[in-house]
Structure 1
Amino acid sequence: MLTGQSFEHRKDWIRDRLHLLGACFAVAIHAYAVMSNHLHVVLQIDAAVSAAWNDEEVASRWIRLFPPREDTDEARDVKRQVLLADPARLALVRDRLGDLSWFMRCLAEPIARRANREDQCAGRFWEGRFRCQVLCDERALLAAMAYVDLNPIRAGVVERLDVPTHTSANERIDLARSGLSPGVVLYPVAGVLPVSLSLSTADYLQILDWTGRALAPGKRGRIDGQAPAILSVVDKDAQRWTMRVRGYSGGWARAVGCAQDLVDLAGRIGQRWLQGVRLAWMLS
């Protein structure tokens, strides 16, 4: 540490904020990794869900995000009643609770203000606006989750998945050890969308452990022999899977999926092609 001061506690701020946003926005947070100088989040957002919420639910969720300055039950109730009496404002808030840009804004701004108060300074905390990729299918989603969860291992911060880190993988491991994690399907680590993936938590962690070793074959202790059998459910073979995960470090760009999905998406947004189509053809 150049300054002699640790800022690790700020990772807790970000993790806790992600869980609060997951409880308020129409999202499912599938994976996250809070690193020393950047953040990865894999999420699904559905504006149709927030559009179906009743007025009281919308107001309550918004006030959880933006409580009154004097945060008492009485003050919250007053703010709720004011919002409920303003249909135009309520409609705007409803739209925001299903909007990715507002999700990221509600993540970044409070963290920046809190860090600035702690440092007694003003100015920008985050480098700039977020970048995002469209994940076209479940396999792309699982590969993105693996890439994100393995960030600390690839960066050399830890060597094993079960070492405490600010990642969704570590959160899943803790829940599994406590017996609180459902074993049948893989649910998001946070969020309100009623979604799940086709793997179990144990299957995902097994694939993740093997992938972490396979992506760094030159480092002692990271090489596993055979790929887990469950991996054949996700991809055609282990080599394709590792190429798919590794592609998030530069092979994929605006979207991830099969070649036809990328071709179709390029057409919808008026482009001739998207970066990653060649990789997608290789993996088909």
Structure 2
Amino acid sequence: MPQPRSSQISLSDTPYYHCVSRCVRRSFLCGVDSYSGQSYEHRRGWVEERLLFLSSVFAIDICAYAVMSNHVHVVLYVDIKQAMAWTDNEIVRRWHLLHKGTLLTQMFIRGDTLSQGQRLSLDDTIAEYRRRLHDISWLMRNLNEYIAREANKEDDCTGRFWEGRFKSQALLDEAAIITCMAYVDLNPIRAKIADTPETSKHTSIQQRLGSLKQTITHSLMPFVGNPRQDMPKGIAFSLKDYCELIDTTGRIIRSDKAGHIDHQQQPILQRLGLSYEQWLTLTTEFERHFCYAAGGEMMMNQFKEHTGHQRIRGMGKAKTLLRCA
């Protein structure tokens, strides 16, 4: 039975979430239709472009993403402080990049004089827009509805493009965040549609590697190095460590033989308190083991209490796979 979104998202526990949207019937509506041979590869570019655009409008940063043939993965960071700091004018300007707004918001952005009653009504509308601009559901809605309309227009048809609602997983600690990011970035390699991270089209890892060579610009959430005092907003690891770890893990996955792992520990794994065996399981089977949330046992219990769940699938794996995190 579908769970209400309030039982899947708890910003008091974490601002990080892994979201997945799948095409109807898991058809290859974004890739190559194996039955007809028709290619829809260009639609993956639509999804990537729209996703990066939305991150520039919402107070939600993208940590990782992978646009696959029949589904989309994205790891998001909700920045409530940023949304609260925006002026009323900035809120309305951003919302109008996506929607027409109301007559009052259009008058406000033009600088027209408003009566006291109109201003009170406008304040309520701006408060709602501010809430929506840091709401994951609204970001995913603006992504999925746009892509569905464009695809239906191209196919000259009507009907659903995506399966019901998107799936959401709360990432409750650093180990869950970094392993889920790696799981997402390595999806094309696991699916055998890419040989290396740098050739994994429509993924955040390709964007990050391209920016290192100054061939691609991106607006992804930055890596800001090891945790420290007065730390800027960003992912608390170095980009170099992450890229090396992705490359190493990708080699392990492609060999299909976990026994041939190089046991020279990467610094990032030591900081996470994960063994190679734990890391490999998490980065290849993340969705299988966790449902609405992922993290250490204590963090999972807190999330369960705050969201009203009686039980959450993945507790056993939280004890074994993330017990040291």
Q: Same fold (TM over 0.5)?
A: yes
Deviates more, 1:267-276 or 1:148-157: 267-276
Number of residues of Structure 1 aligned to a counterpart in Structure 2 = 267
Task: Judge conservation of contact 1:252–1:275 (CA < 8 Å) in 2.
Answer: yes
Structure 2 Cα separation of the partners of residues 164 and 239 of structure 1: 24
Task: State the 1:223 CA deviation.
Answer: 5.8
The one of 35, 50, 54 equivalent to 1:21 is: 54
Query: Cα gap change, 1:150/1:223 in structure 2, threshold over 3 Å: closer, same or farther?
Result: farther
* 2:8 equivalent in structure 1: none
SS at match of 1:169: helix
The one of 239, 244, 250 equivalent to 2:282 is: 244
The one of 117, 130, 133 equivalent to 1:97 is: 133
Task: State the 1:39 CA deviation.
Answer: 0.3
The one of 263, 271, 281 equivalent to 2:309 is: 271
Structure 2 Cα separation of the partners of residues 97 and 82 of structure 1: 22
- Deviation digits for residues 158-199 of structure 1 (CA, Å, limit 9, x no counterpart): 121121411001111111112879xxx616xxxxxx621222
Task: Judge conservation of contact 1:33–1:167 (CA < 8 Å) in 2.
Answer: yes
Task: State the 1:280 CA deviation.
Answer: 1.3
Structure 2 Cα separation of the partners of residues 260 and 66 of structure 1: 41
For structure 2, the 5+ residue unaligned runs are 1-32, 225-231
Task: Judge conservation of contact 1:137–1:257 (CA < 8 Å) in 2.
Answer: yes
* 1:191 equivalent in structure 2: none
Structure 2 Cα separation of the partners of residues 144 and 136 of structure 1: 11
Structure 2 Cα separation of the partners of residues 119 and 126 of structure 1: 15
Aligned CA RMSD, in angstroms, stands at 2.7
- Deviation digits for residues 177-230 of structure 1 (CA, Å, limit 9, x no counterpart): 12879xxx616xxxxxx621222212101001111222344379x965344522
Deviates more, 1:165-174 or 1:225-234: 225-234
The within-5 A match list for 1:23-102 is 23-66=56-99, 80-81=109-110, 86-102=122-138
TM-score by length of 2: 0.74
Task: Judge conservation of contact 2:189–2:254 (CA < 8 Å) in 1.
Answer: no
For structure 1, the 5+ residue unaligned runs are 69-75, 188-193
User: Which residue type is aligned with residue 312 of structure 2?
Assistant: L
Query: Cα gap change, 1:27/1:144 in structure 2, threshold over 3 Å: closer, same or farther?
Result: same
* 1:229 equivalent in structure 2: 266
Deviates more, 1:145-154 or 1:57-66: 57-66
Task: State the 1:28 CA deviation.
Answer: 1.2
Task: Judge conservation of contact 1:47–1:97 (CA < 8 Å) in 2.
Answer: no
Query: Cα gap change, 1:82/1:108 in structure 2, threshold over 3 Å: closer, same or farther?
Result: farther
Query: Cα gap change, 1:118/1:79 in structure 2, threshold over 3 Å: closer, same or farther?
Result: farther
TM-score by length of 1: 0.84
Alignment identity in percent?
37
Matched, 1:112 2:141: no
User: Which residue type is aligned with residue 40 of structure 2?
Assistant: F
SS at match of 1:139: helix
* 2:223 equivalent in structure 1: 186
* 2:183 equivalent in structure 1: 147
